[in-house]
Amino acid sequence: MKIPVNTASHQYEVTIGNEILTNAIESYGNLIKKADKLFVLTDKNVWDNQGTYFKEHFPYPFEVFVMPPGEECKSFDNFQGAHTFLIEKKCTRKSILFAFGGGAVGDLTGFVAATYMRGIPFIQIPTTILAHDSAVGGKTAINHPLGKNLVGAFYQPEGVIYDIHFLQSLNAREVRSGMAEVVKHAMISDEKWLTELMASPDFYKMGQEKLAHHLKLGIEVKAKIVAEDETEQSVRKYLNFGHTYGHALEAAAGYGGLAHGEAVMIGMVYALLLSERYGHISRSFTKTFLHYAYHTGYPVEQLAKYPFETLQPFIVKDKKAEYGELKFVLLSKIGKPFMQTIDLTECRKVDSEFRALIMEVCK
């Protein structure tokens, strides 16, 4: 199945299905045959788990660069290491990069592609549930010690090949983390879909068909939004629901201490508490959602390790802030996001409310 992504700068397709790698790569034959070299950037876990399948099904010769796993690969050091590898291996403007991995590999490789010799083509081959989000839409970035994704570029891939065969080797934690972005896509677009997701909390037991259905819906939500606003001037901000608080948590936890989706899930509960004040979200819904998050296994209780003082320096550096004002994505109701200015005093107050609610609900 193909889902078109038509952004202002670039048009491409997400091809999604099981065991599609060979055919999907061959469909880029015209582009690939004109390339002088192909480079696959991946991480150690992905290569250990899925390297054999990849080598057996990738129909052209390639060089591979295996990076440290997960969030570690989004460092300045690894960014430089990837460039060094490409220079030494004589990568040129006629070469193509393939991002083979989760969101971390995708974000890093996209940024390398955007910057190597001022930009060379790349193709996303996502391997996580979460990457139904990260591989689409052209946000690429690395982390800075002072804040998440603070250095990057909008740079679209030539295409996205989503072979769901790769999802088989994900552990329960990564399945859960990835489903948080599916839940986010439902939160900002469709109450019925969110209700359906919340009714089946055992993600790990979800059949492949059902999972592919949710991933397709998520990709469609994202593709529609980035088609309207590629560079986050307006509606793309809604894709950041739960991320102001979530990114602060990830940074406070030292990038990798909490998985992205875990942090976003906690951030979404915080955004619901704020939405009670400015929208029509009820306390009863926030409690139900927090209960769902906790019992689905998101580490909500770990918030206790990160007092507000440790989050604040990162919250104030959120990229959506304008003229010194913090801008949160809130919901007027499920499926209806809007932007709201919130000052730090209110942020702190709601943070305390959140911690008290966790004590009440998560037992």
319 binding partner (options ligand NAD, ligand LNCXM5UN, none; Cβ < 5 to 8 Å by kind): ligand LNCXM5UN
Q: CB-wise, 233 or 345, nearer to ligand NAD?
A: 233
Is 10 an active-site residue?
Answer: no
Active-site residue, selected from the candidate residues 132, 176, 185, 260: 260
71 part of the interface to ligand NAD, by CB under 6 A: yes
35 in Cβ contact with 106 (< 8 Å): no
Q: Enumerate the known binding-site residues for Zn(2+).
A: 181, 243, 260
Gap between the Cα atoms of 267 and 248, Å rounded: 9
Q: CB-wise, 148 or 214, nearer to ligand LNCXM5UN?
A: 148
Exposure string of 292-320, with b = 16+ CB inside 10 Å and e = fewer, is bbbebbbbbebbeebebeebbebbebbbe
Active-site residue, selected from the candidate residues 165, 176, 243, 327: 243
Gap between the Cα atoms of 95 and 219, Å rounded: 28
**Which residue's beta carbon is nearest to the bound ligand NAD?**
103
State the minimum distance, in angstroms, from the CB of residue 319 to ligand LNCXM5UN.
5
Active-site residue, selected from the candidate residues 139, 185, 319, 327: 139
214 binding partner (options ligand LNCXM5UN, ligand NAD, none; Cβ < 5 to 8 Å by kind): none
Is 240 an active-site residue?
Answer: yes
Q: In 3D, which of 39, 53, 208 has the Cα closest to residue 116?
A: 39
177 binding partner (options ligand LNCXM5UN, ligand NAD, none; Cβ < 5 to 8 Å by kind): ligand NAD
> At what angle are helices 103-115 and 76-88 packed, to 10 degrees?
60
Class of residue 26 by CB neighbours under 10 A (exposed 0-12, middle 13-18, buried 19+): exposed
127 binding partner (options ligand LNCXM5UN, ligand NAD, none; Cβ < 5 to 8 Å by kind): ligand NAD
| Positive or negative torsion for Cα 157, 184, 303, 69 | negative
As a whole number of Å, the end-to-end CA separation of the chain is 42
Strands 96-101 and 63-67: unpaired
The footprint of ligand NAD (CB under 6 A) covers: 43, 45-46, 49-50, 69-71, 74, 101-105, 107, 127-128, 130-131, 133-134, 137, 139, 149, 166, 169-170, 174, 177-178, 181, 259-261
Catalytic residue ranges: 118, 139, 181, 222, 232, 236, 240, 243, 247, 260
